[in-house]
């Protein structure tokens, strides 16, 4: 059964990554801008002192407006630093010069960057390949976010372009549903 779910996830992930790569730039630029603006307007983001946000790459949502706003607003901004299989930490950055190209095109901080422990994080922006309107998330297959969010005490907001929503996402017991979903057209609170 588990192998069937993993196979289903792998097939769906590949299909949706291809779809994402084929989305028109005019659509992705507009959608990304609207998604970032919606994130910044949430009360949870506005009230956060420490923000954890991924740095979008190639076909992912361009999160630069969120990162810039957090820095400009004086928030403590941390971004993911990945180690080994499924191990991720939040590292503080004070500007884009703190990032360097790492594996698979990710921009990450140096190992020496300040570690921000999860209890200091107030708000996290979570990536996905795709998700369902109910918040079921299809990640990139490394398990980084499911592990990191499994014991998180902070508010998590998943962002996804509407064109990549799926009614059904195969899930496993360890898959985590974030607190909120934001697309370019709507925001849904997923947990009370």
Helices 64-72 + 25-41 axis angle, to 10:
30
pLDDT value of residue 114:
97
144 vs 41, 64, 84, 140, CA distance in Å? Answer: 27, 21, 10, 9
SS3 content of the chain, % helix, strand, coil (to 5): 35, 25, 40
d(CA 96, CA 172): 35
Q: Closest Cα to residue 154, out of 74, 51, 76?
A: 51
The model's pTM: 0.93
pLDDT value of residue 52:
98
Q: What is the mean pLDDT of each run of 10 residues along the chain (192 residues)?
A: 78 93 96 98 98 92 97 97 87 95 83 95 96 91 86 93 93 87 95 64
d(CA 78, CA 53): 7
pLDDT value of residue 2:
58
Going along the chain from its start, the domains and CATH numbers come out as: 2-189 (3.40.50.10420)
Q: How far is CA 184 from the centre of its chain?
A: 15
3-class DSSP assignment, residue 85:
coil
* φ, ψ of residue 45 in degrees (nearest 5): -70, -45
Q: Which residues contact 81 (CB under 8 A, 6 or more apart)?
A: 88, 89, 90, 91, 108, 109, 111, 113
139 burial level (CB within 10 Å; 0-12, 13-18, 19+): buried
């Amino acid at each position: 059964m588990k192998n069937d779910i993993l196979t289903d996830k792998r097939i769906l992930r590949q299909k949706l990554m291809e779809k994402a790569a084929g989305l028109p730039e005019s659509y992705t630029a507009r959608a990304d801008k609207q998604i970032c603006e919606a994130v910044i307007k949430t009360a949870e983001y506005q009230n956060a002192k420490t923000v954890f946000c991924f740095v979008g790459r190639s076909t992912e949502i361009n999160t630069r407006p969120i990162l810039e706003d957090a820095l400009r607003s004086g928030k403590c901004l941390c971004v993911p630093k990945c180690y080994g299989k499924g191990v991720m930490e939040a590292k503080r950055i004070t500007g884009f010069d703190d990032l360097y190209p790492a594996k698979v095109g990710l921009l990450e901080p140096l190992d020496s960057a300040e570690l921000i422990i999860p209890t200091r994080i107030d708000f996290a922006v979570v990536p996905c390949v795709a998700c369902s309107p109910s918040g079921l998330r299809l990640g990139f297959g490394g398990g980084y976010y499911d592990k990191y969010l499994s014991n998180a005490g902070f508010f998590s907001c998943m962002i996804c372009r509407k064109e990549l929503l799926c009614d059904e996402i195969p899930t496993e017991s360890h898959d985590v549903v974030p607190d909120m979903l934001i697309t370019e057209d709507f925001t849904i609170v997923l947990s009370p």
